[in-house]
Amino acid sequence: MILLGKTGAGKSAAGNTILGREAFQSHLCPSSWTYHCKRAEGEVAGQRVAVIDTPGLFDTNFTEEELVKKIKSCMSLSAPGPHVFLLVVRLGRFTQEEKDTVKMIQSTFGKEAAKFSLVLFTHGDKLKKQTIETFISKSEELKELIEACYGQYHVFNNQSKDQKQIIDLMEKMVTMCINNGGGYYTSKMLRKATKASKKEKKQLLKQQDVTEPHRRKTMKPVKHNKCLLQ
């Protein structure tokens, strides 16, 4: 499984919770502590698993080429490919930054990644007496995200030692794997997604080239007043 999400979402802590040990460096920090992909293995609920923690790829200043290169590096650690993408989202207000990160992840991995994806909410203690379902229902963006991932989601309290939350997650991932026929996300799917993303960007640039001259023609001249701009 590969952990994805913005810096501060709790990817490394989630990986440690799943494995039941401090396999990944996890600190409170405004910038990403995880600079390189790291793989750790363990036995969870009787199942042998490999967890790949990723750097804050989607909230750094990587070019598209650098981003794809780093993603390929992460995927090579899960060769022949990951069975599950855990899209880690911190409970709380779903900020614009988080929305942009999710969109970038979806654009980078493409539509085929959706059936391998599960949204993992961290900091479950913030729910208090509220259910995760109630929390999701209050946000149209979160509902759309869950729907895009075929309704697959789970919530973690990284401070809790309760093994049930880990067993439940494993059951969901195993079910997903069975539903996918034991298949995994491949490098071919990533190449296809990258090609589609580049094509979409070219189309947007073409649209801008077409609309810009029209916009200039329709703009009214501005009458300048003699004033001091400070």
| Rounded distance between C-alpha atoms, residue 153 and residue 159, angstroms | 19
Q: What are the φ/ψ torsions at residue 48 (nearest 5 degrees)?
A: -75, 125
pLDDT confidence of residue 177:
95
pLDDT confidence of residue 226:
41
pLDDT confidence of residue 59:
62
Give the residues of the chain that fall short of pLDDT 70.
27-35, 57, 59-60, 204, 208-230
| Rounded distance between C-alpha atoms, residue 123 and residue 152, angstroms | 18
Q: Tokens standing for 168? A: 């439940």
Q: Whose CA is closest to 37, among 79, 95, 83?
A: 79
* Structural domains present in the chain: 2-190 (3.40.50.300)
pLDDT confidence of residue 92:
86
